[in-house]
Amino acid sequence: MLINKMGRFQFLTILGAPVKRFDSKYVNQLRRNLSTENKYNIKAEYDGRPLYLDAQATTPLDPRVLDAMLPYLTSYYGNPHSRTHAYGWESEAAVEKAREQVAILIGADPKEIIFTSGATESNNISVKGVGRFYGTKKKHIITTQTEHKCVLDSCRALEAEGFKVTYLPVKSNGIINMEDLDKALTPETSLVSIMSVNNEIGVIQPISEIGALCKSRKVFFHTDAAQAVGKIPLNVNEMNIDLMSISGHKIYGPKGVGALYVRRRPRVRIEAIQSGGGQERGLRSGTVPTPLVVGLGAASEIALREMDYDHKWMVHLSTRLIDKICGTLPQVIRNGDPEHSYPGCINLSFAYVEGESLLMALKDIALSSGSACTSASLEPSYVLRAIGTEEDLAHSSIRFGIGRFTTEEEIDYTAEKCIRHVQRLREMSP
């Protein structure tokens, strides 16, 4: 690694790819630039490009991540698995550096990081791969009713193969009851899969407690951490996590890349669900996409370095938004446990307002009525149903996703528009 000074900023050069060191003034300038150049300019007339408040669906590519990726999209294009010439060596070195960056973020060994196409693939490998490998002796899986659809569908696929799956309920605050998990564990249980941070309501599950319980019962613990990695502190060893799914585009990295942490000691055995050349320790065959992996590594390094700063910014903006909306409008319910939630994910139900109508009224703000994978459905969110939300309130929910580059001006604009249109729609409501 070489430290170079260029202008006002320091750069960390990794194999020729510069990544700006953390500078709060620099990040604030990025916020202003993205707000005025690439997103909706609140000072100008609406031009068809809404401002972005859907950070749980995806996040914008951090410009510093793009800087790190560019050399591997142009000059360093070798196949990382070609070990007979310099082109392959260069790419392999970049891939291994990225593997180390991801590992450091979660307190793992680089050899325990498997690159995938994203959290959906990582979840499929974890649930199906572990289930099938141990399926001759243990055919019981435990998960929750509020997991991401890819985990639930993977569990249903195993059920079709003869497995028994327990779908734990959650309390009204969205958090599991540890006694329910303890009672559900049996000698036949091979895997517990519970997400770290919910993608719809932002609640944080008691991951350390779950990990400790699973370890004491000799059951592997997998967590879908797509919404948690880089946003809250996670350490796979301290939390007794055996498998962890990671998504690149949820931490300001590129789309199409993710990672799966697989514990080596004690070893977690997995039956590969994809055949091929045996890359990634035989668990995920296929050529590793060097530019995307480099982007994931850079995003991981930035996330680790700026996590505290980002978290304080999320708390500041979420408090500002909630205070403005709930301080003005009556009968607004926050879904999930506000004391145990990621502050960048705010799910509010507006009584006597149809959520889809409110989204249409707020067409100059990119928001969601739930998960990006289910928001096109007219059915109320299964996550909100699981926490006991009445159907009318479930239909009236909006998810506000605050990100690293969200500005105070955008929050104020969103709150003002939301208040105005909720009041208008309520006046029209019979």
Annotated catalytic residues are 373
Question: What DSSP line would sit under 377-417, residue for residue?
Answer: -SSPPHHHHHTT--HHHHHTEEEEE--TT--HHHHHHHHHH
Q: Which of 168, 138, 137, 139 is nearest to 152 (CA)?
A: 168
By residue count, the chain amounts to 430
112 touches 264 (CB < 8 A): yes
Contact residues for 165 (Cβ-Cβ < 8 A; gap 6+): 140, 141, 142, 143, 155, 156, 158, 159
Q: Computed over its alpha carbons, how large is the radius of gyration of the chain?
A: 22
Residue for token pair 């450091």: 104
Calculate ∠ Cα 227-233-238, nearest 5°: 115
What number of helices (H) and strands (E) belong to the chain? 13, 15
Q: Using CA of residue 265, residue 267, residue 272, residue 277, what is the dihedral sign?
A: positive
* Half-sphere exposure of residue 72: CA atoms within 13 angstroms, side-chain side: 33
- At 389, the amino acid letter reads T
Rounded CA separation 255/253 (Å)? 7
At residue 374, the 3 state secondary structure works out as: coil
247 touches 195 (CB < 8 A): no
Contact residues for 379 (Cβ-Cβ < 8 A; gap 6+): none
The 10 Å Cβ neighbour count of residue 230 is 28
Contact residues for 395 (Cβ-Cβ < 8 A; gap 6+): 354, 355, 356, 380
Rounded CA separation 386/375 (Å)? 16
Residue for token pair 């959906």: 120
